[in-house]
Structure 1
Amino acid sequence: MFTEEPSYDVLKTENAFLRARVQELERALEACVPRESAEEQHHVPYRKIFDALPVSLGVYRRDGLSVAMNTTSLELIGGIGDEIIGKFNILEDPSSISAGFVENFQRAAALGKNVTMPPCAYETAGSTLATIDERTVWTETTYVPIKGDAGIEFLVECNIDVTERQKTQKALEEKHALLQALIDNAPMSIFANNLEDRTILVNQRCADAMRLPPEAILGKTPRDLLPEDRAEEYLREDRQVLEKGSGIEWESERVRDGKPYHILMTKFPLRETNGKVYGVCGISMDITQRRRAEADNRRLQEEIIRMQEESLRALSTPLIPIAEGVVVMPLIGSVNGTRAQQVMEALLEGVSRHRASIAILDVTGVTFVDRQVADALIRAAQAVSLLGSNVVLTGVRPEMARTLVEIGADLHGIVVHSTLQSAIQYALMY
């Protein structure tokens, strides 16, 4: 008896059922077998990473016992792991307590969040020839709490070397202190405002002038500190500097305690390293003493010039008494109208002072005489004669004689001698 073979369609249906059943069983199997984590699949070497990190890391149990330290941490303290791990307890270490590490360790554990300490310095072993700064290491410590099933189970101590940062900060602080000392001791008032007109810098001299402590000035605007008219003037000056983009300088006179004083003011823009303006700086110098000194110097110069003029006048018109009642005035060089006037004044004053009866006017050394000067000399002689004195004119050169004739000079009452010697002999025998 033959059995009828299943048709193609029946076989196709059975195969599809079987494939679906296999897929269902595979899914059930996957649900029962735990999968490997991504870390397990890639075999992440956590310990190697922990040791390779360039940051000092130490792991403590919640009770303070050290349970792990990476290579960087051990190198930093110069220790061996077997001497520390499982033996050192931070909560029992006196130096950790006194330095504040324990306090911050416990804070992180209690709060359940990171706690970062201020930078802490300690000295490393090294060459005795090195300076203290070279042996000192600064670290910034952060405690990171690690939670487990029972709460905070571990704390990671992360120490970042901030030595260079501390050195830079120290250098900046020293530079700032130096600049502050310079501006505080400068013989001028120094101040600066930002673009909101608030004071960002003031030196001690400026604060003293305003009769306020520096901290009472910082952050304030000119309208907070000055009378309204002066504040508006101050702000106009700042706007002028900002619009011009460069410094300005001027002098002004003001009144303080009822007394006038002079100041030299300079204002200029403050710029960031990229050239952007962020404020205006002003430097005010009291130049009252300078102005007074300049005025005194001008008066002194005028007095010196006056005395020099008098000395030159005396030298240019010397009057020499040679005997009782006899004076001589020898003239040398050129004679202009001004000097001719001086001759007349000196003759009149000398004749009157010495009560001279004869005045000898010697023109031997006169190089040039024009009509105006010749006339002035004759008038001087005539003026002397009005005082009751006789004038003797000596040393007349041909060109002077010609000039006197051309101008029709009136020589009445004037005795003329060719030489000074003969004039003196005449005067002594008079």
Structure 2
Amino acid sequence: MTSVEDLRAELTRMREENAALTRARDEARRERDEARRERDELRTAILGMPAAVGVMVGPEHVFTLVNDAWRALEPSYEPLGKRLVDVIPPPLGPRIASMLEPVFQTGEPLIAANVPFSLPGSTERRFLTFHYSALRRDSGEIFGIVFHGMDVTRQLRAQEEVQSLNSRLRTLLALAENAPDGIVVTERGRVTYANPAFRRMSGYGQEIVEATLPDLVDDESWALLEARRQEGASPGAVQASVTCCRRDGSTFPGEISTFPIRDEGGQIDAEGAIFRDLTERRRAEQEQQSLQEDLIAAQQRAIRELSTPLIPLARQLVVMPLVGTIDSARSEQILETLLQGIAAHQAAVAILDTTGVRSMDEQVASSLLRTAGAARLLGTEVILTGISPEVARALVEIGTDLSGVVTRGTLEAGVAYALGRRRRSKRGS
């Protein structure tokens, strides 16, 4: 028979077992609740992730979870409980499913970067970087695939903008480094960049950095630039001809154009300046001016020669027809041409025809008389022809003394007189 002590021992054992079972049950419940809590937290985290996340199970890739970011990629699709090939229509769905077979079979992840895609009904091209990874049980068995994707459109476009900006900067730097004009950038008044052309023309070399803009021009030029800045509508935008200073103290004529450099907020944080050495241009201008002056002088000489022609009519007889207005310079030309012609042709008679003279004042009359007197000193008789009534009246009014000068009304009469005198001279000899 079972004693009371045995019954009591059995009861104690049963109570201990019951307590152990209760503790085990409570522990299992706590672990289950903890697992559920962790699962819920993980699910909440996945659903709230900015990246697109989706979970597919089984070899047919049935969706069991997708977050809002995944739905945003394909808002027209309802994936939960459906196979991948049923969610994404062909040809894309079957193509992705075939790509996922190795992931499900071997566990090797599938990664693709910057894949282009467009949302249904949209022409906007976007880019996605995605990662497919195998889901395993504790035993290591693969039971599904998790998808993680990021819309990298903004990053790619920012990267493209940076690349474009870098390309532009390289282009601008190449232009500046190879420009024939000097280019200088100053920040807070000091030079931070000078291209090779300016380093050469200024003689500073690399030591140009840390110089100031006033160091590069003389005081008068700097005062001019400051005045132009005050007058200008755009701060810092100035263009002027200046005297540039080299490092050795010598100067050269130049032209400077300054302009403001603004930051992203529109504030001026630097100033640019373009220098042009005008030495060669000034030398070329001076040479051109000298050539032009020589040309003008040659033209004037030709005009004077054409306006005071000396025409030999017969042996020892020359004619100089005068046309236009006679000033002091032209009267000297008349005198010089007549005397040279008399000597060259050994003329005994010279006819000055004034038919084409527009007017004659005292100065012109005195010049003609002086010319006639000089010719007589050479043994040549001067005949003045073509005096118009207006010119004759003017000569009388100013009291011109024409004694000793033969006058005839027309050139024809003057030539007849000269030829007759010549014949008389021959008979007398």
Q: TM-score range by the shorter chain?
A: 0.5 to 0.7
Deviation at 1:37, TM superposition (A): 9.5
Q: 2 CA distance for matches of 1:70 and 1:241?
A: 69
Instruction: Indicate if the aligned counterparts of 1:272 and 1:278 stay in contact, CA closer than 8 A.
Output: yes
* SS of match in other structure, 2:309: coil
5+ unaligned residues in a row in structure 2: which ranges?
1-28, 56-63, 74-83, 119-123, 132-146, 423-429
Q: 2 CA distance for matches of 1:237 and 1:289?
A: 25
* SS of match in other structure, 1:411: coil
The CA RMSD over aligned residues, in Å, is 5.0
* SS of match in other structure, 1:345: helix
Q: 1 CA distance for matches of 2:388 and 2:224?
A: 74
Give the aligned partner of residue 84 of structure 1. Answer: 103
Equivalent residue letter for 1:193? T
Asked if 1:332 corresponds to 2:323, the answer is yes
Q: 1 CA distance for matches of 2:263 and 2:116?
A: 42
Deviation at 1:81, TM superposition (A): 6.3
* SS of match in other structure, 1:222: coil
Equivalent residue letter for 1:205? A
5+ unaligned residues in a row in structure 1: which ranges?
1-32, 60-67, 97-120, 128-133, 142-155
Give the aligned partner of residue 55 of structure 1. Answer: 51
| TM-score, normalising length: structure 1 | 0.61
Give the aligned partner of residue 6 of structure 2. Answer: none
Give the aligned partner of residue 313 of structure 2. Answer: 322
Q: 1 CA distance for matches of 2:171 and 2:255?
A: 25
- 1:351 pairs with one of 327, 331, 342: 342
Deviation at 1:188, TM superposition (A): 0.6
Q: 2 CA distance for matches of 1:373 and 1:409?
A: 10
Instruction: Indicate if the aligned counterparts of 1:360 and 1:391 stay in contact, CA closer than 8 A.
Output: yes
Pair 291,51 (structure 1): closer, same or farther in 2 beyond 3 Å: same
Give the aligned partner of residue 300 of structure 2. Answer: 309
Give the aligned partner of residue 255 of structure 2. Answer: 264
Report the more deviating stretch, 338-347 or 78-87: 78-87
* SS of match in other structure, 2:190: coil
Give a deviation string over 1:283-339, Cα, whole Å, max 9, x none.
Answer: 111222211110011101111111121122122222222233222111123334443
Pair 428,289 (structure 1): closer, same or farther in 2 beyond 3 Å: same
Q: 2 CA distance for matches of 1:340 and 1:242?
A: 52
Give the aligned partner of residue 366 of structure 2. Answer: 375
Q: 1 CA distance for matches of 2:381 and 2:173?
A: 82
Pair 297,178 (structure 1): closer, same or farther in 2 beyond 3 Å: same
Instruction: Indicate if the aligned counterparts of 2:128 and 2:150 stay in contact, CA closer than 8 A.
Output: no
Give the aligned partner of residue 24 of structure 1. Answer: none
| TM-score, normalising length: structure 2 | 0.61
Equivalent residue letter for 2:390? E
Pair 135,313 (structure 1): closer, same or farther in 2 beyond 3 Å: same
Instruction: Indicate if the aligned counterparts of 2:254 and 2:277 stay in contact, CA closer than 8 A.
Output: yes
Pair 399,205 (structure 1): closer, same or farther in 2 beyond 3 Å: closer
Asked if 1:179 corresponds to 2:168, the answer is no
Q: 2 CA distance for matches of 1:46 and 1:255?
A: 72
Correspondence list, 1:230-309, <5 A? 240=226, 244=230, 245-248=235-238, 249-252=240-243, 261-309=252-300
Instruction: Indicate if the aligned counterparts of 2:184 and 2:273 stay in contact, CA closer than 8 A.
Output: yes
Give the aligned partner of residue 23 of structure 1. Answer: none
Give a deviation string over 1:195-234, Cα, whole Å, max 9, x none.
Answer: 16250x4334335556788xx679x4117xx9x9659979
Q: 2 CA distance for matches of 1:196 and 1:260?
A: 21
Equivalent residue letter for 1:403? A
- Counting matched residue pairs gives 335
Asked if 1:390 corresponds to 2:381, the answer is yes
Asked if 1:206 corresponds to 2:198, the answer is yes
Give a deviation string over 1:56-111, Cα, whole Å, max 9, x none.
Answer: 5699xxxxxxxx99775999995676753684346xx9xx8xxxxxxxxxxxxxxx
* SS of match in other structure, 1:391: strand
Give a deviation string over 1:116-150, Cα, whole Å, max 9, x none.
Answer: xxxxx9564789xxxxxx99958699xxxxxxxxx
Q: 1 CA distance for matches of 2:224 and 2:107?
A: 64
Q: Percent identity?
A: 32
Pair 212,297 (structure 1): closer, same or farther in 2 beyond 3 Å: closer
